[in-house]
Every structure is written in structure tokens, then in C-alpha cells.
Structure 1
Amino acid sequence: MGWHEVMQAEAVRAAASPLESARFGRSVERLTVSAEAAAELSDVRAAILASDADIIVLRYPAERVGWFAGLTTLGRTAIPADSLVYWRLGVGKGRAPDPVPGMWPGGTPAADEVRRLVRDIFAAYGNHYLANPLFEAGAALDGYEEWALRSAAQGGCVTVSDQAGVLALATLEEDATRTEILLAGVVPQARGRSVYAHLLRAVEDRAASRGAAEVVISTQGHNTGAQRAWARYGFEPVQTVLTVHLIRDRLLV
């Protein structure tokens, strides 16, 4: 979920999700409350009651911790689906590793290579889809592949490679002032070699080359290993967002 939606949007935002609906065979809607939205639970309730979707993926700031009880009284089953944590780095402030001979940064791979890398890197990653009994785990991985291919089609990828091939991949969304890392990871056989830090350096260098002011990134709250790597590099935590799936009760009978 993009930085603007989570951090800066001024209102509760409801939007149909046709890609997820097609992927999972159920109508899916995204409902998002940003950190800056002056929203009340009553606003969220109204949006939920107005929705015809089978499943609503609701995200809201974790400090609204009291909201969950109210979400259980709206004729839907409310399933906690982990959290998203957002971190930020000022460009030029990263604790970048020294270059390693025989390891180099690169750009966007071919589409087939992107598919392979995503499936290799994220096969065991537990995301919010896994909390939902109506969603298949394999289809969730398909979603990551689709997401990465959209970035690749726009040239929005960074890699780290050595003589053996591509070791790590990051997919990006970029605007004039910000680089957002959407997906980032290292292939299993290259883990434990500080490759991830070199991937972060490649992203920061790319952001600096185009004059961006910051790099932002997010992950599921349980992914503490990635967050430790971000902290070592110089990222700082900014916001935690709760994810709740709201499922029409009749679908679970």
C-alpha cells in the first residue's frame, strides 16, 4: 500500500480492487484511513455499511486501537490480518556498505527473470492474505508477481548481481521527491552475505541521482529481520497500520 494513501490522504478512501477480485474469485474492496485523515469510527462504519463487496481490506492507523471492537458489529466477520510498518530514510543519510569486488548494482531484468526472482524470494513470506480462509496462498504469490511486473514495465527495478546471476531485487514507485520500495529481497542462496544492504545502497544511490529527498519502505509487522536491516542501514520507523479483513458472514458458512 502506497505511502500517500497511508500517510497523507485527507479522507477515508474506499476503492474497488479489480485485480484482487479477479485473482481470488471474490469481490474485494480496499478501505484506507491515512495517518493524517481526521476520521472517526463512524466514518469507517458508514463506508463499510455502504459496501457491496464480499471482502473489505481495511487499513487504519494502529493508534486507533479501540476501533476493532466496533468493527465486529457490522454484519461481517472481522479477521485481524497483521500490520504494516512504515520506515523512512533521508537520501544521503544511509550507512551504506563499501563496494564488494565482483558484486554490482543493476537495473530492471527481463520479465521472465522478474517472475522467477519474485517466486524465489517471496515463496515463504507471510502476508495479510494468509489470514483470510477464502484466499489461496498461491494466488497471493501471483499478486506479488503482478505487482513486480508493473514496476518492471516502467523500469522501476533495482538489482544486485554477481557472476552467478541476480542476487537481489527491489521494485520501486518513484515521484519527484520520494522513492518507495514496494518489494525487496534476496534469493535464498545468497542470504547471510549482507547482499540486502547492498540492495538498499543501490536504491539510495538511484534516489540520489534523480534528486529525491527520501526513500520509504514497509513490511508486515512480523517481518522483524527486514526491520533490523533497515535500522542498521539508517532507516527510522514512522507509522504502523493495522489490517483487518471484513468478510460477509454468509461466505463463511
Structure 2
Amino acid sequence: MNRPAPSVPTADIPVEAMLAEVRKPLGPVWWSVFLASALLAAWGIGWSSWRIAAEGVGVLGVNNNVVWGLDIVHFVFWIGLGHAGTLISAVLLLTCQSWRSPIARGAEQMTLCAVICAAVFPVVHVGRVWMAWMASPLPEVSGIWPDMASPLMWDVMAVSTYFLLSLLYWYIGLVPDFALLRDCCKGRLRRRYGWLALGWQGTGRQWRAYEKASLLFAVILTPLVVSVHSVVSFDFSVTQVPGWHQSI
């Protein structure tokens, strides 16, 4: 027997206000900011890629005596920033805060963006970025496999798991909203949000599954924040270079 969906007065849901934002055309200010950001990102990526290709990873402070340089320092920084977003969202859910939704959405999106930024730095650290595929456990005719004794591989495994769970946690929270937009939009937007809504109808059974899934991910991600950050900190603790394995 399905539990009836929770009744919420229609007046309490600013549906028209939300739809107005979705349907609003992108103005010249938005496009100007987007174009400026895209050009700045392209310049930064091109300049840094050229420098690393021309001079090597020594520009990041990595040499024969120093195993980890500024790239791994920045990697751990972005991972820490992503963990802050996860912890904020999960703790607010576990403590049943009714006002959590807008803050949690922003925190979860911050997590995904931060993890994507962090994933760039281990690839750069490899130096020969075209060989980064060797970090994945793919069959290879020469018998070369990932070295699981390397902290760099620990980073790949930990961050991949963390990103996947964070992505699912973020997406599950958006499914009812996608369904609302599907029911209120027409044409191309209706089809687009229909795919994202995954057949959500708002039945009692679906709400129970939604609540259980959200709670489960929050319970998993809270200790995962500690474990993943502990793994990435091993980058510094396992090296014997003076300074890098000390608390300073």
C-alpha cells in the first residue's frame, strides 16, 4: 500500500517564479561574463600547458629530491574545499534542518566543482599527461599495471569514489525538482526534464525511497570525508623528504 504524498499548499511553492527563471533568455551581461570567463580559462590552460610541456614539472617545484610540489598542494586544497560542501549538506540533512535545501544545493555543487578542479592536478603531476591512462586498471600488452604502492594511485581511487557518491547524492536531491519542471514546461524543456526526472510521480513509495536514499548517502559521505582527506594527506606523510612529512 502506497503512502500518500505529503500535502503542500500550492501557494507555498513558488512554481511560477521558478519557471520564470528557467524560461528567461540569457541576456548580454550573462554572455559577456561567460565569454570573458571562457577566454580567461583558455588562456590559463594554454599558458600553463605550454610552460609545463616546455620546462617540465620542475616549474611546480618537483625535482629529483622533492616528490610532491605545488600541484599536489593545490590538489589537497581543492579536495578540502569539496569536503566542506559535502559535510555542510550531509550534516544539515542528518540533523533534519527544514531550511537546508538552498544551502545544501549550493554546497553540493561546490563539492562537484572542487573535485573536478582537484582531479586536474594529479594528471599534471604525472608530467607526461598522455600517459595518465596508466592510472586506470586496463589490460595492457606490455604487462604494465598501476602501482598500488604509490600514493598517487591512492588519490585516484579515493577521489573517484568520492566524486561518484557526491554526484549521485546531488542528483537524487534534484529528481523531484526535475519532475516539477517536467510537469510545468512544454516542448523541448519538457522532454529534457522528463529524462532527468526518471519517471518520478511523487507517490508515497517514491518519497519513502527518496528519503531513505538521501539519508543513506548522507550517512556514507560523512565518514567518507574524513577517510578521503586522510588518504590524500598520505601524499605528504609517506615521503622521507624533510619537511613534507612533518606537521608544519
Q: Give the alignment's TM-score, normalised by structure 1.
A: 0.21
Answer 1 or 2: which has greater helix percent: 2
RCO higher in structure (CA 8 A, sep ≥6): 1
Q: Give the alignment's TM-score, normalised by structure 2.
A: 0.21
